[in-house]
Structure 1
Amino acid sequence: MNLGTIERIWRYPIKSTGGERLESVAVDERGLLGDRLYAVRDGEGRFGSGKNTRRFRRMPGLLRLRSRYPKAESPAEPELLDPDGTPVADATAYLRRYLRRDDVEVAREESVPHFDQLPLSVLSTATLDRMRTALPGIPVDERRFRPNLLIRTPPGTPPFVEDQWLGAQVRLGPTACVTFVRSSERCVMVNEAQQELPHSPFVLKTVARLHAMRLDALATVTQPGTVHVGDPVVLI
C-alpha cells in the first residue's frame, strides 16, 4: 500500500536551530545522517531547546539561526548561520554573545542522545493542510513542526493520518525501512519565530484543540538506506 511520496527532507545539524533542506540523505539506525548530531549545551549539561526539562533548557532565539553541513553528503562539523543567513566564524563564541550566556557551547553528541524522543519524525501534507486551514492569516509550514520527512499524501487523505501509521512498518524509497512507534507531544517551540514565520501563540493552542497536543509520527529505523525527494512511502 502506497502511503504517499517524500515531498521534502529536513535535517537539523545543531539541535533546536533551523535546519537544511536536502534532496537526498543516508539513513541509519540513528536517523538521518548527522541529524541533531550537535547541540547547544550549557554548563549544567542541558541542551538548548524551546522548553525547560531535566535534559533541556529553554534558550529563546535559537530558531532564528540555522545550521548546515558544508558538505551535505559527508557531515563534519556544521556551520551556524546568523538570522541573515551568513555563516559565523566561531559558532560557540557567536552563541555566547547572541544568547548572552557565557556557559554555552556547540557540542557533539556523546553518551546522551540529543533527540527529544525517537530518531525520525514524519509529517503528512494532509495534517499540515489542516493546520493551515485552522490558522488563517498565520504563516504555517512544516518548519513549525520540524519533521525530517514531509510526506505528500494522496488526495482525500484525512488529517492526522499519521495515527493510522503507528505500529506499521514502512519502506522509504528502495531500501530504507522504518517502524512508526508513536507521535510527538508538542511544546511552545511550534509558536516560536523563525525565518519567514513570526511568533504566534495560536499554533500550539490549535494543535491542542484539534489533536490533543500531538502531531506527526515518530519512527525507529529498522533497515538503513538512502532516501530521496520523490521516493515512494510504502506499507510493508
Structure 2
Amino acid sequence: MADTGGTVLGTIERIWRYPIKSTGGERLEEAAVDRRGLVGDRLYAVRDGDGRFGSGKNTRRFRRMPGLLRLASRYRGQGEAPELLDPDGEPVPDPTAHLRRHLGREDVELAREGAVSHFDQLPLSLLTTATLDWVRTAVPGVPVDERRFRPNLLVRTPPGTRPFVEDEWFGSAARIGEDLRVRFERSSERCVMTNEAQPGLPHSPLILRAIARAHDTRLDALATVTRPGRVRVGDPVRLIGG
C-alpha cells in the first residue's frame, strides 16, 4: 500500500514536456520521470556552427535565437525523433531546413543531446498556480499562462496560498503520486524569454520587469529526481522532509 503521509503542497494540474529546447512543448496526461527529468524533455536542441544551443540568452553554452518560441515540438512515437511544428501548429517535413529559413541562419541544425546537457540548470521545474496568479495580477491586460515560464509541472495550490510559496520548499524532499521522489533545490533566474511572443501570447516586457521588482527575477522551484517514477495529472505533491 502506498504511503499517504506528508503535508500536501498541492496537486498536479498540468504536465509539460519540451522535446526540442526553447520551442513550445506538449501537454501530457502522464509521463515517466528518470534522474535526467521527464523522459524526452529537451532531448533535442537547435545547435549552431559554434556548438551552442538555441535559447533565450547568450552564455558559453547557449545562443539567443529569437523566434524559436513561435515553433513547437512533440513526440509521435516512442524512440522516434520529435516533430517540429510551424507557427500554425503543422508538422514540417525537414526540421533543419525549416529552422534555417525560420531563423535566417544557415549554420543551425536539430541535434540530439550528447555529452553536453541541453538543460539550463536542473532536471525538473515546478510552478504553482499561486505564483502564476500573482503574475497575472502584476501585469493586468497582458495574457499570461504557464507557457511563459516553461515548467514541467504546474501545481494547483490551495486557496489562499501566497505567491512564491515555492521558496519555502527549498532543501526539502517531496513525493509526487505513488513513487516519484524529488528534492527541491532552488529557483530559476528568469531571462527575456518570459517576455517573448508565442502562439496566443504576445510579446510584453512587463512580465520580466514585474518579476525583477518583486522577486529578483526568480520564479519556480527547480528539483532533482531522487527516485524515478511516473507523474500523472491529479497526483498529490506531498512534502516528506529534508
- TM-score band, normalised by the shorter chain? over 0.9
Whether the aligned pair in 2 keeps the contact of 1:17 and 1:64 (CA below 8 Å) is yes
Counterpart residue number, 1:131: 135
Distance 1:119 1:224 in 2: 12
1:112 maps to 116
* Residues 1:230 and 2:234 aligned together: yes
Q: Which runs of 5+ in 1 are unaligned?
A: none
1:27-50 residue CA offsets vs partner (Å, 9 max, x unmatched): 000000000000000000000011
| Structure-1 residue corresponding to 2:32 | 26
Partners of 1:97 and 1:195 in 2: how far apart?
19
TM-score for both structures, normalised by structure 1: 0.98
Instruction: Pick from 206, 211, 216 the counterpart of residue 212 of structure 1.
Output: 216
In structure 1, the residue matched to 2:59 is 53
Q: 1:128 to 1:42 in 2, by over 3 A?
A: same
**How many residue pairs were aligned?**
234
Say if 2:77 is the partner of 1:68.
Answer: no
Q: Render the CA deviation track for 1:144-185: whole Å, top value 9, x for unaligned.
A: 000000000011110000000001100011000000001000
Maintained 8 Å contact 1:34/1:75: no
Q: How many Å apart are 1:76 and its aligned residue?
A: 2.0
Letter in 2 for 1:49: S
In the alignment, residue 2 of structure 1 is paired with which amino acid?
V
Q: 1:44 aligns with which of 45, 50, 64?
A: 50
How far residue 82 of structure 1 moved from its aligned partner, in angstroms, is 0.1
Deviation (angstroms), 1:75: 4.4
SS in 2 for 1:179: strand
Identity %: 74
In 1: Cα distance, 2:29 partner to 2:239 partner? 22
TM-score for both structures, normalised by structure 2: 0.96
Deviating 4+ runs (over 2 angstroms): none
Please tell me the residue identity of whatever aligns with 2:57.
K
Find the residue that maps to 2:226 and give its secondary structure.
strand
Equivalent residues in 2 for 1:86-235 (5 A)? 86-235=90-239
CA contact (8 A) 1:15 1:48 kept: yes
SS at match of 2:168: helix
Point out where structure 2 has 5 or more consecutive residues left out of the alignment: 1-6
